[in-house]
Amino acid sequence: MTDAAWVALSLVERLGGKTLQALMQQFDNDPRAALAADETALRRVRGIGAKLAAGIRAVDVAAVERAIPRWEQAGVRIVTLNDESYPPRLRDLPDAPPTLFVRGNWRPAWGSSAAIVGTRDPTPESLRLAQNLASELSERGCLIVSGLALGVDAAAHLGALAVPGGCTLGVLGCGVLEVYPPANRPLAEAVARRGALVSEVQPFAAPSASNLVARNRIITGLSDVVIVVETEADGGAMHAARFALAQGRRLYAVDNAASGNRVLIEAGAVALRADEIPY
């Protein structure tokens, strides 16, 4: 049975995985004890100040208890950090998401996996390359992970879906029942049928800039290798590249003229030719 108190705590804004783990250590792994604590006790936990303590004390567990059955009836599976079905790759991260909300066909382990990421406005060549890479890797039994954004992400998901038996995960910066961007909602349904949609925010949450950035650590954390197809130096895929390096994932950047790709290759990412498959 899902622990509503844990889920409620994991949804507190700015209460990250590291701080939540420290909170649990302070309160003997009892989320209800943490929720019942006063501000003084909460602020003894490293990383918790007055604002975060107030957010924890304002948690409405009863509301979450009422919401969980509705989410589950809508096809959402709740996977907490302590569940056996929580992905081992993610559990090993210091900032592992405390709770995952999943829609689709979920497995705790998927075998080999590759993240394919890049700009929302790629060149036609990069768009074709993303789809072809995803198809080639899928044919080798590799799970394709991306962020369900327009452009490179969508092409990667489509490439996996083009292969009979191909599987793909879409990691969202919004709720799994509030897919963004709206143009990719049909694609999201296809991904859910052949793989899964995954998010760390509650199922009806709207997208936010901070959540769109944070989901990159989940994309890379679920993957053995990370492939940046095309990005500018200030593009969103650079967040994924930084997370990949911090997590010790193998990072590839397609050898093209995009400014972000040049920066990554100069910083040590493996240059990938258009005709290469990194497996």
The predicted structure's pLDDT at residue 108: 67
pLDDT for the residue numbered 2: 79
Query: What average pLDDT does the chain have?
Result: 94
Answer with the residue of higher pLDDT: 46 or 231.
231
> Mean pLDDT over residues 10-39, rounded?
90
148-188 confidence digits (pLDDT tens): 999 999 999 999 999 999 999 999 999 999 999 999 999 99
pLDDT given at position 21: 87
pLDDT at 60 over 80: yes
61-79 per-position pLDDT tens digit: 999 999 999 999 999 999 9
Comparing 126-130, 187-191, 275-279, the range with the smallest average pLDDT is 275-279
The mean pLDDT value for 266-272 works out to 94
Task: Please report the pLDDT score of residue 279 as a whole number.
Answer: 72
Residue 1 has pLDDT above 70, yes or no: no
Can you spell out the DSSP letters for the chain?
---HHHHHHHTSTT--HHHHHHHHHHTTT-HHHHHH--HHHHTTSTT--HHHHHHHHT--HHHHHHHHHHHHHTTEEEEETTSTTS-HHHHTSTT--SEEEEEE---S--SSEEEEE--SS--HHHHHHHHHHHHHHHHTTPEEEE---TTHHHHHHHHHHTSTT--EEEE-SS-TTS-SSGGGHHHHHHHHHHSEEEESS-TTPPP-HHHHHHHHHHHHHT-SEEEE-S--TTSTHHHHHHHHHHHT-EEEEESSS-HHHHHHHHTTPEEE-TT----
Domains, the chain, in order of start with CATH, read 1-73 (1.10.150), 113-272 (3.40.50.450)
pTM value is 0.94
Reported as a single tens digit per residue, the pLDDT across 109-143 is 678 999 999 999 999 999 999 999 999 999 999 99
